[in-house]
Each structure stands twice: as C-alpha cells, then as structure tokens.
Structure 1
Amino acid sequence: TTLGFGVWLLAPELGAIRVGGATVPPWTWIFVGLFLTQAWKSFGLGATFAIVKQSVPPNRLAMGFASTEVFRRIGFLVGPLLAAVLLSTTAGFVAGFRAVLVAALLFALGATVAQHFLYDASEDSIGKSFEGVGGVLADLRTLPATLRPLLVADTLIRFANGMVYVFFVIVVTDYLGVGFAAFGVTLRPDAFFGVLLGVEMVVAVATKLPVSKLAEYTGLKPVVGLGFLVYAVFPILLVNAPADQWVLVALFAFSGLRFAGLPAHKALIVGPAERDAGGRVT
C-alpha cells in the first residue's frame, strides 16, 4: 500500500515507458498504484477476521469485531478530515491532492514500521503454512451451508455498492457542486466532500458498539439487514438530493448507519468457520 501511494505521487514524473516495441502510456501508473494500494484489503482483511475469531468467544464475535472496527473507523474519520484541511489550504485540487498523497505515504510508512515492530505474532495459531490452491478450493467446497445465502447477498450488495460508491465524490463536487459556507468557514466542494466523509465516520463510530450489543439480543441478521437497507437507499437519496449543504450533511450521517451492521456481518461470516479457519473462510 505504501508503494502504491508512492507510485501515485511520482506518476506525473514517470511518464510513458517503452516495453519492447510498445509504448505504455503515463496513465498506466495510476492502475499500478491502484493494484498496490488495494493490497492491504487482500492480505489484511482475512488475517484480521481470523485473529478476532481465535481471540473472542463465539457469542461475543459481534462485539469483538465492533472493537476492531471502531479503531479502524477512527482512521477513516481522521483521514478525510485531514485531506479536507490540505485541500482547503491549496490553490487547486491537483496541488492539494499531491499534498494528500504525501501525507498518506507518511502514515502508511509509519503503519508498516509499527506493524513490524509492535505486533507479536508468536501466539497466533494461524498463518504457519500455506496448503496451496487446492486447500483454497477445498475450503470453498466445504463452506458451511448457513454461509452460502449470506455470501450471495453480500456479493450482490458489494456489486451494487461498487457500481456507485466511487462516483459519490463526482455527485457532490460536480453534479451538485455543493461547497460549505457557515461558521466563518468556506470550503470548496472537494474539501467539503472530505468533511462529509468525516460526518459519515462519526456516525459509524458512535453506532458500532451499541448496535453490536443490540445484536446479542436481537440476533445478527436484523442488524445486517439494516446495513444492507442503508446501502441500497443512500445512493437513490443522494442523486435526488437538492444542492444544499445541510441536506448532504444529513444524508452522509444517514449513510454512516450502514457501517453499524458491519461487526454483525463479519460475525455471521466467520461464526460457522472452524476456530483456525476464519481467515481462509473470509
């Protein structure tokens, strides 16, 4: 991920390159950086699920995931707000985004160093060896029956969200073109979008633990269903919203509720798995 931010930062200077008889255009570096920055999701998500699975009693999985999610979402809260500050103090978006990339690179490098020196993996009962692709295929064939409907629903909701999520910034900054002006503060639409993401994360952090506690009494499925409902409704509300800053603040606060069901969602995924198989199931 750190390398990916570095590639993005240097992309304008790298330019086109020749490979054999073909010329690779400069925008290719954007996809190289994208491939690298997404690595933390591919490598880290399964490991996080597995560690929580082996550390928490089965009836406390939702609360266990809620605890880790709160810390993660605090990062998602601070990051967009810092980006909003950097964007608001620069003359244009390009210069501001390069400053954001520098900050992201430094934070990612610090996280890499901290993970290497501060995390003790000696007590883990996972990740000692890789059984090969055959082991992965065997895990897929032996997925618990209770997990299959959830994975179908999860795939559909991720597919639907993936179609629209990356365009939210365009809706706010271009389609609606809404900035912020209140309390003596004036923000361009790009900086205001960072504030909106911060509002979303405030609601996410504030609701995770209470909703996860509620799931211990109501069951996990109603809480997961609530999150799926917000996933479905929010894009429709956003694209039909008036160009009003306070309406957008309210909508992104509503959007934060979709994260309240994530701990219960994760608990449903790894709950049926064997104790040391949570990462593979994920």
Structure 2
Amino acid sequence: MVKQLAIISGKGGTGKTTLTSSFVALAENAVIADCDVDAADMHLILHPEIFETHDFYGLKVATINKGLCTGCGKCAANCRFAAITKYMDIDVYKCEGCAVCEYVCPENAIGMVEKKAGEYYCSNTRFGPMVHAKLGAGEEASGKLVSNVKRRAHELASEKEKDMIIIDGPPGTGCAVIAAITGTDLVLIVTEPTVSGIHDLERVLLLVEHFRIPALVCINKYDINEEISRHIIDYCRGRCVGVAGSLPYDVTPLDAMVDGKAVVEYCENEFSSRLRSLWSEVISQMKGMP
C-alpha cells in the first residue's frame, strides 16, 4: 500500500520545500508531488525532465452568441461580478462561472465553456518521478488542480511500484491545503518560533485534527527565539502532537538552493544531520502506522 506524507505550514516561507527536497533525496522509493500549485518551486531544485503534459481546466466561463443576443441587458443586470460589458462581451478575468447570466437570458444566447487555467506535468528527476503543476495567474480552482496532481502521482506510484508519495503542500488552511492533505497518512507541519508562527500552527492543527490525520511538528529556525520554541513544544505536548525535530537558523538551505541541490546532497554539517534525524523520526512514525 502506498503511504502518503504531506509537508505543510500556516504560511509561505517556513522551509517546506527545503525539508521536502531533502526528504525525497533520502527516500528510497518515492513519487514527489509538488502541490503548491500557485507557487511551485520544487522544480528549481530537482530540475525535472518533463515527459507528459496535461491541460487543466478549472471553472467554466460564460460566452455570448451574438447572433441570438438581443442586447436586453438582463445578463449584465444580474451579474454581481460586473463581468459583462455594455457591448455584451464577457470579461473572462471577472467571470466567476456562476452561470446566472445563462439562467436569466431569455434568448438562450449564453452558454458556459471550458477555460484552460493551467497545466500539470509528469517528470523524471534524479530522485524519482515527480508530478507538478502551474496554475495560471489569477486563476481559481487550485484545490481541483491539487487533486489532479495527487491522482496522477498515485497512478505513477502504482505504475512504477513506488511505496511512498511525498507531498510538498501549499501554505495556509484553504481549499488547496485540504486537497493536499486529504487521504494522507501523516502530515508534517513546519512552523517558526514567532507569535504569528504559533497562531498559524494552531490553525493548521485544527484543520488536520478535523480530518483526523496524524501530525508531527518541525520547528524551523528554533534558535531565533528559544523561549517561543519551548512554548511551541509545550503547546504541542498539550495537544498530544509530537515535535519530530528542530532546525537551527542556517545559511546552508540558501546556499544549497542557489546550487540547485537538496541540503542533504549539498553538504554534511549540523543542519543536514538534523534533517536526516528529522526524516528518520518521520519514517519511524509512518512505519508504526497500520
């Protein structure tokens, strides 16, 4: 059975991709799924060779048949997004696909059509197969795209007999995050020792607990405020959530990223050693699961 590990956080920039890239370097038989579709960056480290491209269609948008339209204006009057111009044209950047205009049109001149919103890809990397995506600027339905990425990752895992899917998740607690963690066996939450970091951790834990998914926590840059780090550890203990490891503030991740490498393949130092220990703790937890 394929195990799924998702790495998420309450906000961007906490170090999810730094951890995930090293995890996939250490994993022996995994598929990588970059589910941060709004700002995918795993490809910057793994340099994938794309062998498969799929178009992604999100929300449908309205279109007006000018041959049937009488210009009565009912569609524009009922569009709460002001997506219909005075010339009875559709502004696709404003249209939310609600189909009210189609419903109220007395001439049946309006229909809903598919609109390409991005792409997702299957690639080969030096650490194994990867599925990643690119959502168009300003496009919606990121959760649906994440689901497509995960579905294809599952298919690749079956095809190539992989035993794990490692998910680089999006930040926050929105639809894309819910799609990323749905069905996973374990979630690793990356946080930082700041007041906002505590707040974000609380929100993410509430989300994970709602879906009854086991969770571990990693405190990144723990030494920038060790008092708050201790508070996070106490808070997690009170919620019966394990702290799998703490990482110090270090320039190694930046240097490794500039060199296009995962930290554990870039160098051997205290930071990479802690990453290896963190991975061992995560794997130990997952092996103990049914």
Which TM-score tier does this pair reach, normalised by the shorter chain? under 0.3
Which structure has greater strand proportion? 2
- When Rg is computed on C-alpha atoms for both structures, the one with the higher figure is 2
What is the TM-score of this pair, normalised by structure 1? 0.26
What is the TM-score of this pair, normalised by structure 2? 0.25
